[in-house]
Chains A and B, each alone.
Chain A
Amino acid sequence: MDLSTTYLGLDLPHPFMPGASPLAHDLDAVRRLEDAGAAAIVMHSLFEEQIDQERFTATHHIEAHAESFAEALSYFPRPGEYALGPEQYLEQVARVKAAVGVPVIASLNASTLGGWIEYARHIQQAGADAIELNVYFVATDPRETGGAVEQHVLNIVRSVKQVATVPLAVKLSPFYSSVANLADDLTAAGADGLVLFNRFYQPDIDVEQLEAVPRLELSTSSELLLRLRWLAVLFGNTRASLAASGGVHTATDAIKAIMAGADAVQMVSALLARGPQHLRTVRTEAESWMEAHEYESIRQMRGSMSLARCPDPGAFERGNYVRALQGWRA
């Protein structure tokens, strides 16, 4: 059985890999992922905003009370070197890279254009084989148009492309008016791959405390449907390679994603819930399913159920919704 695939120009033995998640914080977990056969390691994101914030708060807390009181000119030791910036992340990239033999895809979420460029350069230097740009951004300013938001994303990709020699993936959110058009533009801007889709912390409301509480629940297979649609739509319409991210829990989920058009299948919630070894289970079961159904390779299966090839393309289009709803009523 030929499970091999090409994602971001990287030749991989199969499409299954962990998505960006806290799993990559821990070197042991990273090793277990490789043992479970991960085709690549996608790291958690380096968040520029968080780094800035931490630098400022740490500097503030260390300095705020210094040189104020005769008996205590400072309250903290001054160690020669301690990392408040991206060093920790970059060191982790290097450590992960050294610990595993599979490609390492680092992930970046910057808040300024300079940050995107600077950190992408650093990540590449630290040894990442590819970079996933996590362009997560919540537009809360009513004066900012959808077009401007898209231009912002495109600017990021163009700028990073100027300095990056490794492949770039762009992890998108589903909240664009025309995902297909944006995908086109992103490819033109230099994106080598698209990851569909990001999942976000959503503010929940604590009605007792009257507080907004950020929450991130683990995904379920039902969330895959959104991905399937857009993979199916984009397949064949873009030069970029495609990754499914969000809602893949079982071998069947993975097969659906590949059939919709994914070159790579990323899993997070399933691995968090069941452990890194679940990656092997999904791969083995997918392989068995393919054998049972007499598939020869992943390539044979990939995109078979895309908008372009599927026997009933309307199912991926708007009409689908109407009918499904009617079906349910009946």
Chain B
Amino acid sequence: MAASTQRQTVTVDGNEATASAAYRVNEVIAIYPITPSSPMGEFADEWAALGNPNIWGTVPQVVEMQSEGGAAGAVHGSLQAGALTTTFTASQGLLLMIPNMYKIAGELTPLAIHVSARTLATHALSIFGDHSDVMACRQTGFALLASNSVQEAHDFALISQAATLRARVPFLHFFDGFRTSHEVAKIEQLGDDDLRALLPADLVEAHRRRAMTPDRPVLRGTAQNPDAFFQGREACNRFYEACPEVVQATMDQFGDLVGRRYHLFDYVGHPEAERVIVLMGSGAETAHETVNWLLARGEKVGVLKVRLYRPFSVRAFVEALPASVRAIAVLDRTKEPGAPGEPLYMDVVAALREACVQGLARFAASPLVIGGRYGLASKEFTPAMVVAVFAELAAAAPKPRFTVGITDDVTGLSLPFDRDLDIEPDDVSRGIFFGLGADGTVGANKNSIKIIGEETPNFAQGYFVYDSKKSGAVTISHLRFGPRPIQSAYLVKNANFVACHQFVLMEKYDVLRYAVPGATFLLNAPYGPEEVWDHLAREVQEQIIQKKLAFYTIDAVEVARSTGMGGRINAIMQTCFFAISGVLPRDEAIEKIKESIVKTYGRKGDDVVRRNWQAVDETLANLHQVKVPERVTATKSLPPVISPEAPEFVRNVIGTLTANNGDLLPVSAFPVDGTWPIGTTQWEKRNIALEIPVWEADICIQCNKCVIVCPHATIRAKYYDPDLLKDAPPTFKSTGFRSQEVKGSKYTLQVAPEDCTGCSVCVMACPVKDKTNPKRKAINMAPQIPLREPERENWKFFLSLPDPDRGQLKLDVKGSQFLAPLFEYSGACAGCGETPYVKLLSQLFGDRLLIANATGCSSIYGGNLPTTPYTTNPSGRGPTWSNSLFEDNAEFGFGFRLAIDSLAGQAEALVLALAPQIGSVLADAILGADQSSEAGIAAQRERVSLLREKLSGLRTPDARRLEAVADYLVRKSVWVMGGDGWAYDIGYGGLDHVLSMGRDVNILVLDTEVYSNTGGQQSKATPRGAVAKFASAGKPIAKKDLAMMAMTYGSVYVARVAFGAKDTQTVTAFLEAESYPGTSLIIAYSPCIAHGYDLAMGLEQQKLAVETGYWPLIRYDPRRLGEGKSPLQLDSGPPKGDLAKFLYNETRFRMVEGIDPVRARELLEAARGDVKARYRLYELMARPALAEEAIVTAAGEE
């Protein structure tokens, strides 16, 4: 990032490429994290933290705001006050900026923002890429500039900035989310001198001169009346007219300087092409590549890449098209339901018409124009699809509207394409690598690309596919290397090198379908070269023989273990790749790997480097070619990915998605409105645990603590009639149930062997130790593989045992854990600190529970396909769940309550009205029912069922109306749930409003003290002294006390809980919150991987958090005021022990010590002060006499 005149070649992804230019040409950067744009802000933050200057020698201020709306406001303000400013965003975030975008454009303010274009949430959320977000901004007055590749994203970041300063029209520069933002490619990096050359001082000065300053005061943002507004709005027209020429002039200047030439519309293809595709974004590169392939085959085709989409230059557009064109297909990466066509198509049609009218058109005949959609949410867009579109243009009657890339068997819009077509030239090496997130495969591949890109003349490309589970996540890396810039913006389908870094993945994926004949196959296996063959399934052996693969194997785990690398096999597998792929000479490659290890780990110490080096050296000795037999010897086949016992939809649709074949599913396979079946995680047996807990019935005290802490509901307890054991599998364990109330029953603690993630939190929770051998607890971890088969049968039998009667259970920790969880086997991280709360919620109220879930971790593990964890009880009842947005979740759930109250009110009125027909005894019983307990709820369900019987005999409209709403006579429980990013930041305004409304809504904040889902950005819940993104030196400000803020209302039930510290308090708080007839707020301490410690220790850390006063446990129940008590109860004692004892177990706090010990001490002192002050305040508020004054005091604190 230093000033230079020499241009460097770098290997970066699209986000870094963009940020690298944008950072250096701005003074203020205000952002908010959102996938896939977050890394741009993070890079900027890191560079600012390092003190890297922009081209004018100042370090940009990088600030994280509370939402994109906030970021846009800050950008607007900073621009108005004269600083060069930018932001990075995507999707819903961009939508939140729209109000400001109108203002910024209306005020002709130079600004270039950079958007990694992402799908807008409709029937479902998707983090992936298309143009639906940027297309929603085409009316704001912003110029829209599209870049198609990593290099272009870098170049256009500068061109957009230079053009906006000249044109005064603000720019939205965009590129495809993930496909470009996350693709790693070799590019030429612009030097500071390049940037300076395009941004002369006079342009910056002109911007400054327009700034608001009391030294030259101006007035902007007036309110205008009908007499003035219209004309005022038209006054900007000249700037928009001039804008395209300004952009072209800037592109020309850039081309003269750098050598890469761009135009408003770039045409590639036959000079006399008859068929032309018009599109923008990364798909244009694939189309370009395919056009070249078709030209070589004599076809007269071409592609027009749209670069400046707004303002749309009709002249430049028609001039760019060959006069010979007869048919045009316009491809839109967005969908506008109900419109005559998608936006780009409509613009092309209008432009052609306009060109005719103005006499600009040179076409022999007016071209036919058809429009199609492609690539929504990063759906693959391949050469085969480009070929299909050209074929359609050649058809006698092309479809006027079509889709390409899917099979639409409902409306028949899709074009057929040849899935086997492969146009990639032989001189491009292609590799595909299957790995787990945890094994470092992606990092190693990024490193390999860097080595190849930077050490050889080859161009390199890497793209990485991640699954949506957070535990045991699979990664698939797609790598290309070749002598020319790589335009293939699609996944590798046919690879010369296939590697599987985890043997277990051979069972789950058809790994070898990617291998071309004669390809090299590398497998990490826990077997020697002589034995590995015998452990492969029949289908795998077949492919190895048929395709004549060169098959290599290594036991990388053993090499890693013996060289002290723990579970990290990245350097080992990377060495294997270079050793056998021949991409680089072996010795040279190994030297480069070692150099890169020093670069990566050098600052972490010589020993880390030494161990990595040793691992590299040991690799070659342990890498073996396998002698492949001539015939298949295996008898076993690959197991099904989804249980054959699953329902049809799950088998056919979800099963196909799970097997990585979702692209093959037709439109008819999908629900029309995004509604998805529940309870589907049970059918996907992931088998990701290396070890699982084993129960020792002889010493178990049956406390059920292991059950309550399990994040994945994979360890459960039941008591049951001993007679039921007669059908038990032989290894099923059972012991007498210890209970005062229930005599003669049996008790079993059972583990789901194939769903457990092996986090071992349950073992940590077990309070029992064998008196003779205290190492042995009542549950202990043991290898999964030998236990898999018998425990699978045991689990199945266990599930078949009846659940205890909910009405009979005492709802303490032990009793609550006999309630069936209706949230199971989620994809949350192993040891997740959030999910035990969600599971508890599902156990206590699941059969009458509505959940509004803010976007974040909980919406991903709660609702990301293919399989989802919310499920039903045997009666078919269970939580109903939905995710609206990130920012509106409290309001969304509040809406649930309004509807339920309305429907329940109608039902009650109808019961009253129909009392004579249904009987006044039943009517009175229904209307006066006490539903405060499980037994009360059950009784009311009985009454409603009786009511339905009676209604079925009635023939009145009221009876029918009551039938439709009768279920609302049973109390429903509304829970609004989300993380701290939502509750403390983006959703706080709505949350606060809902708190103030007093309606019966329960709010559960899963407080990880950081934006977990997007990768650890600070929120207002981040504590003082913790390192987080945007607080890389440790957050200087204390955490917001949300509990205190809610208590100031006096009418809200508030609790702070930490299940690992005091599970009884957690259970009590959930029950109290639910029973409280007004609004309740539970703030739940949730250990998270972003805290940087082994989550198996999560319970211990929670205990320490509470003990040291870091996380005081409180309950504030306004009902207690009526009893003459303070509403506030302290459930934990005064801070005990040193806060540092808690803090320094976690990397997030320890890092500050490493960065700046003096600051670390200051922050620690301040944090100690926070803890004491907060406790004193709580204590004061908890005194009965001071209750009311304390509430008032609270408003002024923190």
Partner-B contacts on A (CB < 8 A): 51-52, 54-85, 88, 91-92, 118, 210-211
* Docked CA distance A64–B1030 (Å): 21
CA distance A67 to B1092 in the complex (A): 15
Query: Are B605 and A51 touching (Cβ within 8 A)?
Result: yes
Known: A63-B568, A70-B466, A75-B1012. 17 other contacts (CB 8 A): A58-B1150, A59-B604, A63-B440, A65-B829, A67-B440, A67-B443, A68-B437, A68-B475, A69-B437, A75-B1016, A75-B1092, A76-B1148, A79-B1032, A79-B1151, A82-B1151, A83-B1155, A84-B604
Contact between chains at A76 and B604 (CB < 8 Å): no
A68 and B438 contacting across the interface, CB-CB below 8 Å:
yes
Q: Could you say which of B22-30, B44-52, B893-901, B1053-1061 contacts chain A?
A: B44-52
Residues of A within 8 A of B829 (CB): 65
Instruction: Find out whether the CB atom of B42 lies under 8 angstroms from the CB atom of A64.
Output: no
User: Closest CB of chain A to B157's CB: distance in Å?
Assistant: 20
- Asked if B1089 lies at the interface with its beta carbon under 8 angstroms from chain A, I say yes
Contact A69 B46 (CB under 8 A): no
Other-chain contact of A69, B182, B441, B466 (Cβ < 8 Å): B466
> Which residues in B have their C-beta under 8 angstroms from that of A56?
566, 608
Partner of B46, one of A73, A77, A211: A77
Q: Is B708 an interface residue (CB 8 A)?
A: no
CB pair A60–B566 under 8 Å, yes or no, is yes
A71 to B771, CA, bound (A): 47
Q: Which residues of A contact B1031 (CB under 8 A)?
A: 77
Q: Does B1068 contact A (CB under 8 A)?
A: no
Given contacts A79-B46, A85-B605, contact A68 B473 (CB under 8 A): yes
- Tell me if B601 counts as interface (CB < 8 A to partner A): yes
| CA distance in complex: A173, B826 (Å) | 54
Counting CB contacts under 8 A, is B1093 at the interface?
Answer: yes
> Which chain A positions have C-beta within 8 A of B42?
77
Q: Is B87 an interface residue (CB 8 A)?
A: no
A210 proximity list for chain B (CB < 8 A): 769, 771, 774
Whether the pair A64, B39 counts as a contact (CB closer than 8 A) is no
Q: Identify the B interface with A (CB < 8 A).
A: 35-36, 38-39, 42, 45-46, 49-50, 127, 178, 182, 436-438, 440-443, 446, 464, 466, 468, 470, 473, 475, 566, 568, 601, 603-608, 769, 771, 774, 829, 860, 1012-1016, 1027-1033, 1089-1090, 1092-1094, 1147-1148, 1150-1151, 1153-1155, 1157
Q: Which chain A residues border B601 with CB–CB below 8 Å?
A: 59
- Inside 8 A of B442's CB, which chain A residues have their CB? 67-68
Complex Cα gap A57–B1092 (Å): 9
Residues in B whose Cβ lies below 8 Å from that of A55: 604-605, 607-608
Cβ A76 vs Cβ B1027 within 8 A: yes
The answer on a CB contact under 8 Å between B1089 and A52 is: no
Contact present for A71 and B605 (CB under 8 Å): no
Which B residues are CB-close (under 8 A) to A84?
Answer: 604-605, 1154
CB pairs A–B below 8 angstroms (17 shown): A55-B608, A58-B1150, A61-B1093, A61-B1147, A63-B568, A67-B441, A68-B437, A71-B1015, A72-B1012, A72-B1016, A74-B1015, A76-B1027, A77-B42, A77-B1030, A79-B46, A84-B604, A210-B771
> With A66-B443, A77-B1028 in contact, do A72 and B1014 touch (Cβ < 8 Å)?
yes
Min CB gap A207→B, angstroms: 11
Residues of B near A81 (CB, < 8 A) are 603, 1155
Question: What's the nearest-Cβ distance from chain A to residue B1147, in Å?
Answer: 4
Chain A residues with Cβ below 8 Å from B1151 are 58, 76, 79, 82
Residues of A within 8 Å of B769, CB to CB, are 210
Contacts of B608 in A (CB 8 A): 55-56, 59
In the assembled complex, which residues on chain A have CB atoms less than 8 Å from the CB atom of B1012? 72, 75
In the complex with contacts A51-B605, A65-B438, A71-B35, A77-B1027 CB distance below 8 A: yes
- The listed residue (B182, B437, B468, B1147) touching A76 by CB distance below 8 A is B1147
Lowest 3 A-B CB distances belong to which pairs?
A68-B437, A72-B1015, A77-B1032
A259 to B122, alpha carbons, bound, how many Å?
87
- Contact partners of A82 in chain B: CB under 8 A: 603, 1151, 1154-1155
How far, in angstroms, from A157 to B473 measured CA to CA in the complex?
A: 50
Flag if A75 contacts B1154 (CB, 8 Å): no
A66 to B36, CA, bound (A): 15
The complex places the Cα of A71 from the Cα of B1017 at a distance, in Å, of 12
* Chain B residues, Cβ within 8 Å of A74: 1015-1016
Q: Contacts A75-B1015, A75-B1089: A69 and B473 contacting too (C-beta < 8 A)?
A: yes
Asked if residues B35 and A70 are in contact (CB atoms below 8 Å), the reply is yes
Q: Which residues of A contact B1153 (CB under 8 A)?
A: 88
Beyond A77-B1028, A85-B605, is A91–B1093 a contact (Cβ under 8 Å)? no
For A62, the chain B residues whose CB sits under 8 A away are 1092, 1147
How far apart sit A72 and B1008, CA to CA, in the bound complex (Å)? 15
Residues of chain A within 8 A of B446, CB atoms compared: 67
Compute how far the CA of A55 lies from the CA of B1027 in the bound complex, rounded to whole angstroms: 17
The answer to whether B438 and A64 touch across the interface, beta carbons within 8 angstroms, is yes
Q: What's the nearest-Cβ distance from chain A to residue B1029, in Å?
A: 5
Chain A positions within 8 Å of B127 at CB level: 70-71
User: In whole Å, how far is A72's beta carbon from the nearest beta carbon of chain B?
Assistant: 3
Q: Could you say which residues of chain B place their CB within 8 Å of the CB of A54?
A: 1150
Which residues from chain A contact B1154 at a C-beta distance below 8 Å? 58, 82-84, 88
Residues of B within 8 A of A211 (CB): 774
CB of B1159 to closest CB in A, whole Å: 12
State the CA gap A65–B1147 with chains docked (Å): 13
Bound CA span A51–B1154, Å:
11
Q: Which partner residue on chain B sits nearest A66 by CB separation?
A: B443
Rounded to whole Å, the gap between the CB of B600 and the closest CB of chain A is 10
- Looking at the assembled complex, report how far the CB atom of B141 sits from the nearest CB atom of chain A, in whole angstroms: 31
Contact B1013 A71 (CB under 8 A): yes
A73-B39 CB under 8 A given contacts A79-B1033, A85-B604: yes
| Distance between A63 CB and nearest chain B CB, rounded to angstroms | 7
Residues of B within 8 A of A51 (CB): 605
Measured CB to CB, the nearest residue on chain A to B565 is A56
Give B178's nearest chain A residue, CB to CB. Answer: A70
Interface-centre pick from A60, A62, A66, A73 (highest chain B CB count, 10 A): A73
Q: Which of A72, A85, A88 contacts B1157 (CB 8 A)?
A: A88
Chain A residues whose C-beta falls within 8 Å of the C-beta of B1155 in the assembled complex: 79, 81-83
Please name all residues of chain A whose beta carbon is closer than 8 Å to the beta carbon of B38 when the two chains form the complex: 71
Min CB–CB distance A291 → chain B (angstroms): 42
In the bound complex, how far is the Cα of B1033 from the Cα of A171, in angstroms? Answer: 38
Write out the residue numbers on chain A whose beta carbons fall within 8 Å of the beta carbon of B36.
70-71
Instruction: Give B1146's nearest chain A residue, CB to CB.
Output: A61
Q: How far is the CB of A134 from chain B (nearest CB, A)?
A: 20
User: When A72-B1016, A79-B46, A88-B1154 are in contact, do A67 and B475 touch as well, CB less than 8 Å?
Assistant: yes
CA distance A58 to B1152 in the complex (A): 12
Q: Nearest Cβ in chain A — how far from B673, in angstroms?
A: 25
Query: With a CB–CB cut-off of 8 A, which chain B residues contact A72?
Result: 1012-1016
Q: Which residue of A lies closest to B775 (CB)?
A: A210
On whether A63 and B443 interact (CB within 8 A), knowing A58-B1151, A82-B1154, the answer reads yes
Contacts of A79 in B (CB 8 A): 46, 49-50, 1027, 1032-1033, 1151, 1155
Task: Collect the chain B residues with CB atoms within 8 Å of residue A52's CB.
Answer: 605, 607
A76 touching B1016 in the complex, CB below 8 Å, given contacts A60-B566, A91-B1157: yes
Cα of A317 to Cα of B608 in the assembled complex, Å: 50
CA distance A46 to B1089 in the complex (A): 29
A315 to B: closest C-beta gap in Å: 44
| CB-nearest residue of chain A to B1029 | A77
- The interface centre, meaning the residue of B441, B606, B1014, B1089 with most chain A CB atoms within 10 A of its CB, is B1089
Q: Chain A residues near B1028 (CB, 8 Å)?
A: 76-77
User: Most chain-A Cβ atoms within 10 A of its Cβ — which of B607, B860, B1094?
Assistant: B607
**Interchain nearest-CB distance for A55 vs B (Å):** 5
For A68, what are the chain B residues with a Cβ–Cβ distance below 8 Å? 436-438, 442, 466, 470, 473, 475
Q: How far is the CA of A69 from the CA of B1094 in the complex (A)?
A: 18
| B46 cross-chain contacts in A, Cβ below 8 A | 77-80
Nearest B residue to A112, CB-CB: B607
| A68 → B minimal CB distance (Å) | 2
